[in-house]
Structure 1
């Protein structure tokens, strides 16, 4: 159970902080296939992190 709790916490915090990484991608522009692939990759990782981190107990007010 402790391992899953750790994975959930990591997923939550990645899902929370990952949008900060979008900013440099948008500032530099999406003018190549590599930049578009990076953006789609970030979106996939973000979605997975939100799914995994959804049950994080530390995110709820007690």
Structure 2
């Protein structure tokens, strides 16, 4: 994988992991009262975990 592509994927993972929790709010406000809503929440959590794993070495995130 080229260095530029690796950096772009890591950056996308970092920013997705940073901004994705905003999507939780509408799910919680709508309520998790059906299997579909539960699957949406599980999907969001799965994507968030994957994004955190992919983006954890993003250079701009290091102090």
Q: Report the TM-score, using the length of structure 1 for normalisation.
A: 0.96
Moved over 3 A (4+): none
Q: Which runs of 5+ in 1 are unaligned?
A: none
Which residue matches 1:53? 55
Which residue matches 1:25? 27
Helix, strand or coil: the match of 1:17?
helix
Q: Which runs of 5+ in 2 are unaligned?
A: none
Count how many residue pairs are aligned between Structure 1 and Structure 2.
Answer: 61
Query: Aligned-pair distance for 1:59?
Result: 1.0
Q: Determine the C-alpha separation between the residues in 2 that align with 1:6 and 1:54.
A: 13
Helix, strand or coil: the match of 2:39?
helix
Equivalent residues in 2 for 1:28-39, closer than 5 Å: 28-39=30-41
- CA RMSD of the aligned region, Å? 0.5
